Amino acid sequence: MKAAKTVPGTRSVSFWCAEKDRMVTVKFVSHGSFLFRRETKILSCSVFEDPSLINCSRSCLDPANRRLTPDWQVLGY
């Protein structure tokens, strides 16, 4: 059985950033096979004046920290 080929790629994702308290679009570098891709680096983020100068904790590298809406909207407020 052949090992799955891992080719780095990029993808843009829009989500609610809890740290900056607003919607952002982030361009990630991802690695891994098709089903097991993982974001490993941030190339740019729309929240910053210069999108390539990322000045935050980069918690969005973990998909669990990306939300489609702010927490208060989920709670019905």
pLDDT at res. 56:
94
Give per-residue pLDDT as tens, 6-24: 667 899 999 999 899 999 9
pLDDT of residue 6: 63
Q: Which residue has the tokens 């990322």?
A: 54
**pLDDT tens digits along 26-67:** 999 999 887 788 999 999 999 999 999 999 999 999 999 998
Domain-wise residue ranges, the chain: 9-74
Query: What pLDDT, on the 0 to 100 scale, is given for residue 8?
Result: 78
Indicate the helix (H) or strand (E) that contains 74: helix 71-74
DSSP at 51: T
